[in-house]
Amino acid sequence: MSGKGVEYWRWSEYRLTVPNVKLEKAKVITAGIDVGSVSSKAVVMVNGEIYAVAVMRTGSSSPDSAKKVLDWALEGTGLKPSDINYIVGTGYGRVNVPMANSTLTEIACHARGANYIWGPTVRTILDVGGQDIKAIKCDEKGRVLSFLMNDKCAAGTGRGMEVLADLLKIPIEEMGAASLKVDEEPDPVSCTCVAFARTEAISLLRRGWSKEKVLASYMRAMAIRMCHLLERVGCEKDLVITGGQSKNIGIVSRVEEITGLKTLPPPNWRENGRDPMAAGAIGAALFAKALYEKNQNKA
Amino acid sequence: MTVVAGIDMGVQNIKVVLLRDGEILSHGLAPSGFEPEKAARQALQEALEKARISLSDIKHVAATGVGVELAPMVNSKVSIVSADAMAAVYLFPSARTVIDVGAEESRVIRCDGKGNVLDFALNERCAAGAGAFLEAMARALEVRLEEMGELSLKAKGTASISATCVIFGESDVVSLIHKQEPKYEIARAIYDALAERIASMIHRVGLEPDVMLVGGVARDVGFTTALKRKLETEILIPKYPELAGALGAALCAMERVGGSRR
Amino acid sequence: MIVYYGYADGSGEYYIVVDSEKCNGCGECIKNCPQNALEITIMMVDLEEQQVASVKEEHRKKIKYTCAPCKPEQKTPPCVMSCKPKAITCIWKRV
């Protein structure tokens, strides 16, 4: 049920080819491969534009997942991995992408990808994963200025949300909407520690609080923690949220309210491939182009 | 004849210790539940009945513990850290580092031979370093907490889980179960994780022998074994480790009515 | 790039912060850390590799206890004191 390999908001594996991108005009073909603990993503770019994307579950072997997701992205395009001029690998922990020419940190790739997806106005990125939260500050070119990751404490992570979903027996995708069904926003739970908050939630239910009110109280506390981390790196517009929690309107609306910033909505990625979930792979593919061109200039 | 009482308003249990002329007379315990004040009166009543005395015989009541503000019939308050230090040297005069693992909070205290606090470190508002960690892990492992200790003794230490967060620890336990890791190995990993957390706390104040362990968790053989292994030192454990706070409060009460510490 | 090593939990926030733009990789902070918690890593900043100080992986999630003996809540820790370019700083907040 829980642990590694659990998706906190349902997503489906997919691949797509972006229409209207002409392979014949390709001067540089690059790829970015991002192998995460839960999902693996590959993005293929032609002259720095997204051409093909694939997103799938990470298997038990990182190198295998890297190969599989790249092959899947190339499916139907007529391209082979050897046609790619430069590949950058990235991802969680010790990255193992054997076909990569270089490996870069996921933070740098994520920020660069967010800049590509949403444009040069993005300055603050809140990335909420299953077991960690990242706050990233970047400039107009998507370069990381400031970075903070919290993976010590479950408060605000997808796993922390799942704890309440289990307790209240509400499907995780419905938690957000349910938390907004309150007449008046209650105070946040007094404990940010999820283990203690869980106990507090039980006593609130005993006191006659509705599930929706308990959820609102809990989500508020979690949103406060997220905003606290954002404040550390300096929260500036435009703000975007990536990761599983980006689909949790209970969190998104509260983060917007606390920071006073409207988050940029996700673009129509099914058409143009700009899937926020693939931000790391997009950034990696862009870095691949830059590194390839740098090498060409040296030669 | 001077009788004093110490009340430890713990998160899970209220403990009471009665002292007569500096010697332990009796003790009482009641679960805090939703009405800690009521539980405190219950625990006190139990101690009085065992001692065959009445409330009016008590010269001074001192209270300590996380819920100290709710303590009834209190003449004075004592910090849990001071109470632990006093109780430690009373029980073991050579104790200089006292570890108190409570239900929701933990402390490590360095003291001198007279029971004065020299330095201390707290683990609060985070369930990872307290008894709550073991309770949650036992639930995730689907074993009874009372049995988890013995179970862990069989293990060689092939598994490990996250020590920094109860919630991540629970995920790790579930993952290990899926990977068919034997329950006794997971049980040991749980105690090793808590011991690691406590050992990190000790780092804050420095370890000086003799090391003493108090608090309800000291009754758990799985934890004491893991802690001894982690610290690589012998650990003194009193017969009633959960009563240390109340004993320390009672010793404090004695001082305050003009008696002196043994 | 400014990197925050550490965490926030129920009890507070604890970070050792390193600014790669100011850090010259001199290693003074590493020498002065009594817990041996710091190291030099190679970081890719703007496609160039740079030597920067960082907190060792095994200490990041228990930094509250690793740094505690230096008592950062009371005084400036030795790593911060020893850094001439002021690249390393410390945030220590108990709730």
- Does B200 reach chain C within 8 Å, measured CB to CB? yes
Helices (H), ranges, B179-220: 183-205
- Does A192 reach chain C within 8 Å, measured CB to CB? yes
Residue type, C70: C
Q: For residue range A10-36, what is the model confidence (pLDDT) as tens digits?
A: 778 999 999 989 888 889 999 999 998
Residue type, A291: L
Largest separation between any pair of C-alpha atoms in chain B: 63
For C14, the closest chain A residue by CA position comes to A150
Partners of residue C46 in chain A, C-beta under 8 Å: 143
* CA gap A179, A174 in Å, rounded: 9
- Does residue C2 carry a pLDDT above 80? yes
DSSP structural state of residue A143: -
For the entire predicted model, the pTM comes to 0.90
| Angstrom distances, CA of residue C92 to CA of A242, B109, B222, C17 | 28, 21, 34, 11
Residue type, B240: Y
Q: Mark yes or no for CB contact C9/A108 under 8 Å.
A: no
Q: How confident is the model at residue A8 (pLDDT cuts 50, 70, 90)?
A: low
- Does B224 reach chain C within 8 Å, measured CB to CB? no
Q: Mark yes or no for CB contact A159/B171 under 8 Å.
A: yes
- Selected residue of A37, A133, A152, A225 to mutate for chain B interface (largest B Cβ count, 10 A): A152
Mean pLDDT over A51-58 rounds to 94
Q: How confident is the model at residue A2 (pLDDT cuts 50, 70, 90)?
A: very low
Average pLDDT, chain B: 94
Q: For residue range A102-137, what is the model confidence (pLDDT) as tens digits?
A: 999 899 999 999 999 999 999 999 999 888 999 999
- Does residue A94 carry a pLDDT above 90? no
- Does residue A3 carry a pLDDT above 50? no
Q: Mark yes or no for CB contact B166/A195 under 8 Å.
A: yes
For A155, the closest chain C residue by CA position comes to C9
Distance (Å) from the C-alpha of residue A3 to the closest C-alpha of chain B?
4
Q: For residue range B3-30, what is the model confidence (pLDDT) as tens digits?
A: 999 999 999 999 999 999 989 999 999 9
User: Is the Cβ–Cβ distance between B43 and B99 less than 8 Å?
Assistant: no
Residues B173-200 as b/e (b if ≥16 CB within 10 A, e otherwise) read: bbbbbeeebbbbbbbbbbbbbbbbbbbb
For A48, counting Cβ atoms within 10 Å of its Cβ (0-12 exposed, 13-18 middle, 19+ buried), the class is middle
Distance (Å) from the C-alpha of residue C78 to the closest C-alpha of chain A?
23
Query: What is the dihedral sign for C-alpha A10, A13, A19, A25?
Result: positive
Partners of residue A195 in chain B, C-beta under 8 Å: 127-128, 132-133, 136, 166-167
Give the other-Cβ count within 10 Å of C69's Cβ: 15
- Does residue C95 carry a pLDDT above 90? no
DSSP structural state of residue B154: T
DSSP structural state of residue C23: -
Considering CB atoms only, which of A143, A148, A232 is closest to C46?
A143
For A222, counting Cβ atoms within 10 Å of its Cβ (0-12 exposed, 13-18 middle, 19+ buried), the class is buried
Give the other-Cβ count within 10 Å of B9's Cβ: 29
- Does A57 reach chain C within 8 Å, measured CB to CB? no
Q: Mark yes or no for CB contact A4/B175 under 8 Å.
A: yes
Considering CB atoms only, which of A3, A157, A159 is closest to B178?
A3
* Token pair for C91: 């945030």
Per-residue confidence (pLDDT) for residue A7, from 0 to 100: 58
- Does residue B241 carry a pLDDT above 90? yes
Residue type, A221: A
Which partners does chain B have (≥3 C-beta pairs < 8 Å)?
A, C
User: Mutual orientation of helices A194-206 and A211-233 as an angle, nearest 10°?
Assistant: 150
For C60, the closest chain A residue by CA position comes to A152
Q: Mark yes or no for CB contact B127/A193 under 8 Å.
A: yes
Q: How confident is the model at residue A93 (pLDDT cuts 50, 70, 90)?
A: low
Considering CB atoms only, which of C2, C10, C91 is closest to A192?
C10
Which partners does chain A have (≥3 C-beta pairs < 8 Å)?
B, C
In the sheet that B211-214 helps form, which strands lie side by side, from edge to edge? B117-123, B106-111, B97-101, B211-214, B235-236
Partners of residue B142 in chain A, C-beta under 8 Å: none
For C46, the closest chain A residue by CA position comes to A143
- Selected residue of A132, A149, A162, A194 to mutate for chain B interface (largest B Cβ count, 10 A): A194
Per-residue confidence (pLDDT) for residue A22, from 0 to 100: 87
* CA gap A144, C44 in Å, rounded: 11
Q: For residue range A221-259, what is the model confidence (pLDDT) as tens digits?
A: 999 999 999 999 999 999 999 988 888 999 999 999 999
| Angstrom distances, CA of residue C52 to CA of C29, C30, C36 | 11, 11, 16
Q: For residue range B179-202, what is the model confidence (pLDDT) as tens digits?
A: 999 999 999 999 999 999 999 889
Per-residue confidence (pLDDT) for residue A62, from 0 to 100: 86
User: Is the Cβ–Cβ distance between B105 and B140 less than 8 Å?
Assistant: no
Per-residue confidence (pLDDT) for residue A92, from 0 to 100: 75
| Window A:107-146, CB contacts with B under 8 Å | 131
For C61, the closest chain A residue by CA position comes to A152
Which helix (DSSP H) or strand (DSSP E) does residue C4 occupy? strand C2-9
Q: Mark yes or no for CB contact B167/A159 under 8 Å.
A: yes
Average pLDDT, chain A: 92
C44 versus C88: which is more confidently predicted? Answer: C88
Partners of residue C95 in chain B, C-beta under 8 Å: 125
* Token pair for A244: 């599983």
- N-term to C-term CA, chain A: 53
User: Is the Cβ–Cβ distance between A52 and A16 less than 8 Å?
Assistant: yes
- Does A229 reach chain C within 8 Å, measured CB to CB? yes
Q: For residue range A128-172, what is the model confidence (pLDDT) as tens digits?
A: 988 899 999 999 999 999 999 999 999 999 999 999 999 999 998
Q: For residue range C21-73, what is the model confidence (pLDDT) as tens digits?
A: 999 999 999 999 999 999 999 887 777 889 999 999 999 999 998 998 899 99
For A170, counting Cβ atoms within 10 Å of its Cβ (0-12 exposed, 13-18 middle, 19+ buried), the class is middle
Per-residue confidence (pLDDT) for residue A130, from 0 to 100: 86
Considering CB atoms only, which of B125, B165, B204 is closest to C65?
B204
Partners of residue A144 in chain C, C-beta under 8 Å: 1
Per-residue confidence (pLDDT) for residue A5, from 0 to 100: 44
- Does C84 reach chain A within 8 Å, measured CB to CB? no
**DSSP-based helix, strand, coil % in chain B, nearest 5:** 45, 20, 30
- Does residue A213 carry a pLDDT above 80? yes
Q: For residue range B169-180, what is the model confidence (pLDDT) as tens digits?
A: 999 999 999 999
For C16, the closest chain A residue by CA position comes to A148
Give percent above pLDDT 70 in chain B: 98
> Which residues are CB-contacts of B2 (< 8 A; sequence separation ≥ 6)?
B20, B21, B59, B254, B257, B259
* Token pair for B146: 């009372």
> Which residues are CB-contacts of C62 (< 8 A; sequence separation ≥ 6)?
A152, B163, B164, B197, B200
Distance (Å) from the C-alpha of residue B126 to the closest C-alpha of chain C?
5
- Does C15 reach chain A within 8 Å, measured CB to CB? yes
Extended strands (E) in chain B = 3-9, 13-20, 23-31, 58-64, 76-77, 97-101, 106-111, 117-123, 211-214, 235-236
Residue where the block lists tokens 């959820």: A215
* Token pair for A32: 């970015």
**Across A111-115, B30-34, B242-246, least confident range:** B30-34
For C43, the closest chain A residue by CA position comes to A105
Residue where the block lists tokens 């409207």: A262
Per-residue confidence (pLDDT) for residue A27, from 0 to 100: 92
